[in-house]
Amino acid sequence: MAVRLQATQVPGGISGNLSPSNRNPNAVIRFGRGSSKRNRLVSLSASLREGDGRGKESSVRAVEVKKILEDSPLLPKPLSSNQLAETVSNGSRVRVAYQGVRGAYSESAAEKAYPNCEAVPCEEFDTAFEAVERWLVDRAVLPIENSLGGSIHRNYDLLLRHNLHIVGEVKLAVRHCLLANYGVKLEDLRRVLSHPQALAQCENTLTRLGLVREAVDDTAGAAKQIAFEDLSDAAAVASAKAAEIYGLNIVAEDIQDDTDNVTRFLMLAREPIIPGTNRLFKTSIVFSLEEGPGVLFKALAVFALRQINLTKIESRPLRKNPLRASGGLKYFDYLFYVDFEASMADEVAQNALRHLEEFATFLRVLGSYPVDTTML
């Protein structure tokens, strides 16, 4: 039986207006406009640099900054799950969903994957998946693994829950900075805010500085909080871009413990791409197996026998049936996510999956897509 990549039919969905034929092409996510507010935002960094005092004028300025940031058309509020039925893609530019707020590393990854795209911030990973499925955006770019922090387990689970296809990957070098409000010195700092993985990636530096770690949802969100609340004893671990957006001072650059800090992002779409053989391709699959001695070895051998290189293997609990009884004992039941270097247009890859299908209890091709070679 041949293994095929099949396009997924996206249903009308909850609101009943999600297919291309009946969606309103003029409905868009509106973030507001206004030249006066735009000009006020441009002067934000300059106003923050005025004076080193942290008195009444600084407090008043912090309130003004918060108002400017909240009202600015340049800083769209993240799309929430409650807003998913309120807007659709207008077809003008490629709209790409990412998790976080302006200045997030995910935004930079989206812009690297799709130059000149309209990057749409989402509050949660789930929201980004749903936004693509409901035709609100055209693509999503979401992190799947980091060279220091490991796998993003949440997104592995969401890949199986949703019917999206991996159509590409993009790798982004992560360069962390320590950001604080202007006038705040390094010796004034007592705590640092950021995403848990970012804090872990800067463990040695933060320990040397004696800063108390406080975890938040994302790096850019930490920078935004520092600016909004005009904090004088706290800093954020975030990107230089976040410093520019939120008018913060870069207290220290490249504070990550390892210079080889790279995050790999997946590019997701409603339809798969047609795999080719004219360049290096990667294929991602997920499968489950029966319990038994050597079963996983047999599964991986279908690739080794055909000289197919595996680049990633990840196991996740089978949520609907986490425990399996066998021979009077109970075992954990797992799904296995595997990436291998081959295109589904190659007969050798098709034969490998036919072989695997003979004893796998479940098998799904998540995507066959070009490898990002920009950082090799």
Give the CATH number of the domain where residue 197 resides. Answer: 3.40.190.10
| Helix, coil or strand: residue 142 | strand
Does residue 218 sit in the same domain as residue 195?
yes
Domain boundary among 201, 230, 258: 258
125, 129, 265, 340: the catalytic one is 265
Containing structural domain, residue 308: 274-368
Does residue 153 sit in the same domain as residue 179?
no
Q: Let me know if 263 is a catalytic residue.
A: yes
Does residue 303 sit in the same domain as residue 359?
yes
Q: Is residue 284 part of a domain?
A: yes
| Helix, coil or strand: residue 174 | coil
Please report, for the domain that includes residue 298, its CATH number.
Answer: 3.30.70.260
Q: Is residue 310 part of a domain?
A: yes
Buried b (16+ CB within 10 A) or exposed e, 65-95: beebbeebeebbebbeeebbbebbbeeeebb
- Rounded to the nearest integer, the mean pLDDT of the chain is 80
15-19, 82-86, 100-104: lowest mean pLDDT where? 15-19
Q: Would you state the pLDDT for residue 76?
A: 53
Q: Let me know if 265 is a catalytic residue.
A: yes
pLDDT of 27 above 60: no
Does residue 252 sit in the same domain as residue 296?
no
Query: What would the DSSP string read from start to end of 258-322?
Result: -S--EEEEEEEESS-----SSS-EEEEEEEEE-SSTTHHHHHHHHHHTTTPPEEEEEEEE-TTS-
Does residue 158 sit in the same domain as residue 190?
no
pLDDT of 347 above 80: yes
Phi/psi for 266 (5° steps) reads: -100, 140
Residue 16: which pLDDT band, with cuts at 50, 70 and 90? very low
Does residue 204 sit in the same domain as residue 232?
yes
Domain boundary among 209, 225, 258: 258
pLDDT of 8 above 60: no
Does residue 129 sit in the same domain as residue 193?
no
> Per-residue pLDDT averaged across 2-17, rounded?
36
Q: Is residue 119 part of a domain?
A: yes
Q: Is residue 78 part of a domain?
A: no
Q: What Rg value do the Cα atoms of the chain yield, rounded?
A: 23
Residue 331: which pLDDT band, with cuts at 50, 70 and 90? low
Question: pLDDT per residue over 102-143, tens digit each?
Answer: 999 999 999 999 999 999 999 999 999 999 999 999 999 999
What is the total count of domains within the chain? Answer: 3
Q: Which residues are 253's β-sheet partners?
A: 177
Does residue 281 sit in the same domain as residue 207?
no
Q: How many angstroms separate the CA atoms of 107 and 265, rounded? A: 11
Does residue 164 sit in the same domain as residue 179?
no
| Helix, coil or strand: residue 204 | helix
- pTM for this entry: 0.74
Question: pLDDT per residue over 152-188, tens digit each?
Answer: 999 999 999 999 999 999 999 999 999 999 999 999 9
Does residue 165 sit in the same domain as residue 195?
no
Does residue 215 sit in the same domain as residue 153?
no
Domain boundary among 156, 171, 186: 171
Does residue 155 sit in the same domain as residue 179?
no
Residue 321: which pLDDT band, with cuts at 50, 70 and 90? low
pLDDT of 73 above 70: no
Q: Is residue 22 part of a domain?
A: no
What is the strand order of the sheet 334-340 is part of? 310-317, 334-340, 281-289, 360-370
Q: Is residue 316 part of a domain?
A: yes
Q: Is residue 230 part of a domain?
A: yes
Q: Is residue 9 part of a domain?
A: no
263, 281, 336, 340: the catalytic one is 263
Q: Would you state the pLDDT for residue 177?
A: 97
Q: Is 188 exposed, middle or buried (0-12, 13-18, 19+ CB in 10 A)?
A: middle
